[in-house]
Structure 1
Amino acid sequence: MPTLRRRILEFLPRLNVHVKDLESGAALVTRRNGYRVTPVGPRSWLVRRGKDGFTDQISRMAETSSAKKWSSVGLGPNAHLFVNGKQDDADEFQMQKAAQDYMGARHVAALLRHYQVNCVFDVGANIGQYGRRLRQHGYTGRIVSFEPVATMTEKLRRAAENDPEWWVYPYALGREERVDTINVVYGSMSSILDPTTFGNERYKRFRNTRSQEIDIRRLDSLMDEALKGIDAPRSYLKLDTQGYDLEAFAGAGVYKSEFVGLQSEVALMRIYEGMPRMAEAIEAYEAEGFEITGMFPVTREETTGRVLEFDCVMVRADAMQS
């Protein structure tokens, strides 16, 4: 039988009051519509509105016994972060990770708009998480995804099948074209490189791998085809190849200067043999004219708090159009 609270919440829309359920015992109640609620962790939500005055119109959490546990943090004139103050360390870790992922995606989406990007090269696409996130954050241009692991490529194709501007290639990218093998690992950690001792200790999944033969292509050999039909290409390069980013970047050849921005996972701790450390990777990108706009933690050890990898987002400032 519905509780009195539920009956009240169901009645409020008749009074032009908008109700958004968050979880059992908590709801967001506002007098204006047009807000968006994004979960960013256990009992944490980011609430945004696209019009001025949102801060004044955020009403209150529904009056429940748990309402007073919530805190609201302003993130500019049109966004608030609601957090349940009662979170243990594990909840806090998950909330921060989800919030950082979300803010990183927002940062990239804003850069793509600001630099008028119309083609994103998604290298190491896995099952299409990055492409879907681009679409969710409003990017409408072409996406060109590369994923060599056959089982992942099939899922990636399904993710892109109803999107004519999302192209999929079943290749790895590198500095030279050849046939090689990749270590197929559960999830998104398959790599051409072998894991280090640290990697084996950190990720138990490395103990259950299999090999797959793959084609490695140079990016510069595919650029003309990938950009076909775009009159004035403004491209962005996203690299997530589990330790092979600099090799894939090298294969772009003279096209490196054509990218207005790039995004690469840079490592503080070597998970794979031969992968570059963060300083080496950033130095290589800076040598090609890219400058950092944001660093977002990808993985962090819960026990020590240290970051293992960052998503490094960079742009070529002279590519900014007036």
Structure 2
Amino acid sequence: MQTAYRRLLKLMPRLGLQVTDLGPGTAVVSRRGGRIRIPLGPGADVLARDNGRYTVAGAGADAWVVRRRASRVQQDENAGQSTTVRLGDSGASLLLDPAAGTDERKLQLAAAEYLCHQHVAGMLELYGVNCVFDVGANRGQYARRLRRFGYTGRIVSFEPTAEHFATLEKAAADDPDWWVYPYGLGREDTTSTIHTGWNTMNSLLPPSDYGKGRYGRFAKSDTEEIQIRRLDSMMEKALDGIDTPRPFLKMDTQGYDLEVFAGGGERVAEFVGLQSEVALLRLYEGSPPMTEAIGVYEAAGFGITGMYPVTREADTGRVIEFDCVMMRAEAAPRKS
């Protein structure tokens, strides 16, 4: 004898609904049809849309990854080939696709970028940061990553070029604690000319001979007149309404970071940490070498907590630039 439950399941398709029976007393009902059950292992299945573009790869004990592939041929060639690498005793594992090993440099840089953002998020939480100065914001990539990694405090972004500022302004429109300003920051309040057309590498400095040899984009550039403000002149407004400010300074200004830092004057002592792009192989004429930049930051009371390669030469493996994260140890919370 049919139960009321079974009769109901049979009625659903007549109402334009798709039913996937998962077993006694359990079913999935959806408006869009074509679901298929993919077995993972004992006691575990996954439902996916039945378009033949999914493959399942093991990712350790009792864990699987369901991936969407461009074609069935690609699916069949790659199914089950991913490997899982344990990251020490951290409890984390890294899932490696077979294609990941074909470009060691790309894998290393991608991993470094992720670890840098994770580290910064950890430092912001540890030091109780409640305002991040995002200098050289471009289109807002850094601020969006901060939000994805869980930072909920104020972000104050500075981007001087008109095209990128327009994109930045739209990105921040729905985030009331993300403020944006159409300025560059430097040693003095002034106007200056910036090289544009270099995407994320627009700079107030001209390219070096090494930079020209590495990046074809430097062969031609447009220029734009921009407004420059001192960091200390912007701090009062940026920190307005925060009872006990604990700011963090991120600089990514294509060789101009020390000029930004100099514009902070004595107020750099208020920052509990900073992040700066420092160069071993200089892409811009007049930019400071890494040792000089780090020396200035250390003299101001900051100590290195992380160094992450940003770019490397493909033919030699040499690091060109690092993201350097530094914190003021005396500002760390003291355990009772």
TM-score by length of 1: 0.83
The corresponding residue for 1:83 is: 96
**Residue identity matched to 1:206:** F
Q: Flag the 1:210–1:66 CA change in 2: closer, same or farther, 3 A.
A: closer
State the alpha-carbon separation in 2 of the partners of residues 20 and 232 from structure 1. 50
**Residue identity matched to 1:81:** L
Decide whether the 8 Å contact of 1:74 with 1:80 is kept in 2.
yes
Matched residue count: 290
Q: Flag the 1:8–1:240 CA change in 2: closer, same or farther, 3 A.
A: same
Q: Flag the 1:270–1:19 CA change in 2: closer, same or farther, 3 A.
A: farther
Q: Flag the 1:83–1:210 CA change in 2: closer, same or farther, 3 A.
A: same
Q: Flag the 1:235–1:20 CA change in 2: closer, same or farther, 3 A.
A: farther
Q: Flag the 1:211–1:136 CA change in 2: closer, same or farther, 3 A.
A: same
State the alpha-carbon separation in 1 of the partners of residues 195 and 296 from structure 2. 26
Decide whether the 8 Å contact of 1:227 with 1:233 is kept in 2.
yes
Decide whether the 8 Å contact of 1:171 with 1:215 is kept in 2.
yes
Secondary structure at the counterpart of residue 138 of structure 2: coil
User: Which aligned runs of 4 or more in structure 1 are off by greater than 6 angstroms?
Assistant: 60-65
The offset of 1:19, in angstroms, is: 7.3
State the alpha-carbon separation in 2 of the partners of residues 134 and 318 from structure 1. 24
The offset of 1:264, in angstroms, is: 0.1
Secondary structure at the counterpart of residue 110 of structure 2: helix
Matches for 1:69-148 after TM superposition, within 5 Å? 69-75=81-87, 76-85=89-98, 87=100, 89-90=102-103, 92-148=104-160
The offset of 1:131, in angstroms, is: 0.3
Secondary structure at the counterpart of residue 228 of structure 1: coil
**Residue identity matched to 1:192:** L
Q: Flag the 1:97–1:19 CA change in 2: closer, same or farther, 3 A.
A: farther
State the alpha-carbon separation in 2 of the partners of residues 159 and 193 from structure 1. 27
Q: Flag the 1:297–1:7 CA change in 2: closer, same or farther, 3 A.
A: same
The correspondence for 2:328, drawn from 300, 316, 320, is: 316
**Residue identity matched to 1:305:** G
State the alpha-carbon separation in 1 of the partners of residues 108 and 55 from structure 2. 21
1:182 counterpart = 2:194: yes
The corresponding residue for 2:70 is: none
* Residues 237-246 or 78-87, more deviating: 78-87
The offset of 1:271, in angstroms, is: 0.6
The correspondence for 1:27, drawn from 56, 79, 97, is: 56
Q: Identity percentage over the alignment? A: 52
Q: Flag the 1:71–1:93 CA change in 2: closer, same or farther, 3 A.
A: same
State the alpha-carbon separation in 2 of the partners of residues 60 and 273 from structure 1. 47
Decide whether the 8 Å contact of 1:61 with 1:67 is kept in 2.
no
The offset of 1:85, in angstroms, is: 4.1
The corresponding residue for 1:293 is: 305
Deviation string, structure 1 residues 125-146 (Cα, Å, up to 9, x no partner): 0000000000000000000000
The correspondence for 1:306, drawn from 318, 322, 331, is: 318
Decide whether the 8 Å contact of 1:18 with 1:29 is kept in 2.
no
Decide whether the 8 Å contact of 2:188 with 2:228 is kept in 1.
yes
Decide whether the 8 Å contact of 1:298 with 1:309 is kept in 2.
yes
State the alpha-carbon separation in 1 of the partners of residues 66 and 93 from structure 2. 12
Q: Flag the 1:17–1:114 CA change in 2: closer, same or farther, 3 A.
A: farther
Unaligned runs of 5+ in 2: 1-34, 68-74
Larger Rg: 2
**Residue identity matched to 1:58:** A
State the alpha-carbon separation in 2 of the partners of residues 203 and 98 from structure 1. 20
Q: Flag the 1:241–1:19 CA change in 2: closer, same or farther, 3 A.
A: farther
The corresponding residue for 1:58 is: 63
Deviation string, structure 1 residues 86-106 (Cα, Å, up to 9, x no partner): 55543x322222111111110
State the alpha-carbon separation in 2 of the partners of residues 235 and 19 from structure 1. 46
Secondary structure at the counterpart of residue 194 of structure 2: strand
**Residue identity matched to 1:27:** V
Aligned-residue CA RMSD (Å): 2.7
TM-score by length of 2: 0.79
State the alpha-carbon separation in 2 of the partners of residues 20 and 313 from structure 1. 42
